[in-house]
Structure 1
Amino acid sequence: MSIPSVVIIWCDASFETKNSYQSMQDEFNETTTGVSAQEPDRMDVDIVNEGTNYFHSNNVPLIVTRTTEEAETEIQKHSKEKIFVICSGTSGRILVPIISRNFPYVHDIFIFAHGLAAHTDWTADYKQMVKMFRFHTTLLIRLTHEITKYFIKQGKNYLQIGDGSSALKYFKQAQKLEIEANRRSKTTWNAVETYSNQPDYRRHLNLLEGSNGLIAQAENIMRHQELPVQSH
């Protein structure tokens, strides 16, 4: 079984091309997939520090759109998949009401805007759907945790029906995402990477790891069924 798609749709008119703001796109991809990005140049790092939009589709199911109409089309095309939406405050003012009205299966929307106060009027009506962020790294880490939570939920569903192999794939992917999110949370992008002493976020990892963690439970089911389990 392959991991079902998690589709991330980013809507922002600032994306001039699908390769705009390459460093921010690479940072997102590295966090969610563990695929190393190319070393960013100084100009790109400055863009990252300014928190101006990001990412590029590179082994992560990410779709960049410039208009709310394009975003609607992509949401419709991916209705069978788990969808996370990121948009600017300006785009969100139009797109979020449309999603609320027409796409009830989408309930994870991340607003990325420097001037959050300018959007408190309309977001007040969508508090159950919308999370707001001023800095792209904060958004990135929160989104990664939300994807992890989704994978854990799906893995538990497979545990309940005794499918340890499928459950393990979800739990391993969740573990990888959490480890990378913790690494990213300690990193400050500047001319070079610097690292803080911020403690790891352990909530999800505590569920996954340990002798009675979800990973171990899935592996035990596989052993009971005489299925091969890779050693750590």
Structure 2
Amino acid sequence: MPHDTTIPYEENPNHMIIWLDLTIGDPEKCIPLKKAFSSQADPKNETPVKLRDKDYAGILDIVGPVSVAFEGVEFLFAAFTNVESCIECFEQNQDKRIFFITSGSMGEIIIPQIISKFANIFTNPETDESYNSIYIFCLNKEYHSRWARAFRNYVQIFDFETDLLSRMIHDIADYFLTEGKQLLDEDPPNYPAAKHRLTWSHELYQRYDKMGDTDNMCIMDRMEKVPVRKELNEVNELLENIDDEMASSSDEDD
């Protein structure tokens, strides 16, 4: 049964998107990716305002991340057009789960540095497995695949922005599902925090699932769509169990 709920809001999210690209401020560039971001100034606003090009220009001038919504889910977000400032951001946010978007040319410069200095950011502390949450967008996939081969456990390479966006939405949904289940495994279970993560996961899986609609068919022409019905059913079941447990706990307190 579908689980319908308002997307929850947290004061201090521990997840973050960093974007490094010389063309971020260009209104003719990165249009599909830019459409995924919207304002998160008012968490009660059911229709967030899409970020405009001047908003990205403003973000580039800000020291430190800002709060935005990525496909309706709250994220910390930082954008850069130079490698040095971007590395400094990684240095200051090593406690965050970071999803990193970079152009191919700038990725060739920065990725060896961040993996050398901050491999912990892209490594699961429980399993010691690498997160492949570095997304390279480039026009020459063959060239960039050669140097990126050394970092294949960390990177994914795309020559279409919509493919990158689709993959990233799916990966972040997976991340929130995993984090939600980990919070439920705590003793005692952290039901409110788990509900946040699972609700975000549900929203993103639904968004990914809809990317096969007519207005997005171009994505599926190039990239095989991974079914997410199993994941959606799992998230729905977990959310329903949380609601039951929280209701039961509330009854016991009365």
1:219 aligns with 2:246: no
Q: What displacement does 1:126 show?
A: 0.7
**Distance in 1 (alpha carbons) for counterparts of 2:107 and 2:179:** 28
Q: What displacement does 1:128 show?
A: 0.3
Correspondence for 2:141:
116
Match of 2:103 among 69, 88, 106: 88
Number of residue equivalences: 204
Where in structure 2 are the equivalents of 1:43-192 lying within 5 Å? Answer: 58-59=68-69, 60-107=75-122, 108-161=133-186, 162-188=189-215
**Does the C-alpha gap of structure 1 residues 22 and 199 become closer, same or farther in structure 2, counting only changes over 3 Å?**
closer
**Distance in 2 (alpha carbons) for counterparts of 1:35 and 1:77:** 31
Q: What displacement does 1:20 show?
A: 7.1
**Does the C-alpha gap of structure 1 residues 199 and 8 become closer, same or farther in structure 2, counting only changes over 3 Å?**
closer
**Does the C-alpha gap of structure 1 residues 57 and 24 become closer, same or farther in structure 2, counting only changes over 3 Å?**
farther
**Does the C-alpha gap of structure 1 residues 21 and 89 become closer, same or farther in structure 2, counting only changes over 3 Å?**
closer
**Distance in 2 (alpha carbons) for counterparts of 1:25 and 1:120:** 21
Over residues 97-156 of structure 1, what are the superposed CA-to-partner deviations in whole Å (9 max), with x where a residue is unaligned? 111100013322001112100112211111100111111111111111111111112211
TM superposition score normalised by structure 2: 0.68
Correspondence for 1:9:
18
Contact 2:33 2:162 in 1 (8 A): no
Q: What displacement does 1:189 show?
A: 6.2
Correspondence for 1:28:
36
Contact 1:25 1:57 in 2 (8 A): no
Over residues 166-211 of structure 1, what are the superposed CA-to-partner deviations in whole Å (9 max), with x where a residue is unaligned? 2111111111111122223435369xx9x99x896324212212xx
RMSD: 3.5
- One-letter amino acid of the counterpart of residue 146, structure 1: D
TM superposition score normalised by structure 1: 0.74
**Distance in 2 (alpha carbons) for counterparts of 1:134 and 1:35:** 31
Over residues 51-81 of structure 1, what are the superposed CA-to-partner deviations in whole Å (9 max), with x where a residue is unaligned? xxxxx97434221111111210111122221
Q: Give the unaligned 5+ runs of structure 1.
A: 41-55, 228-232
% identical aligned pairs: 22
Correspondence for 1:50:
none
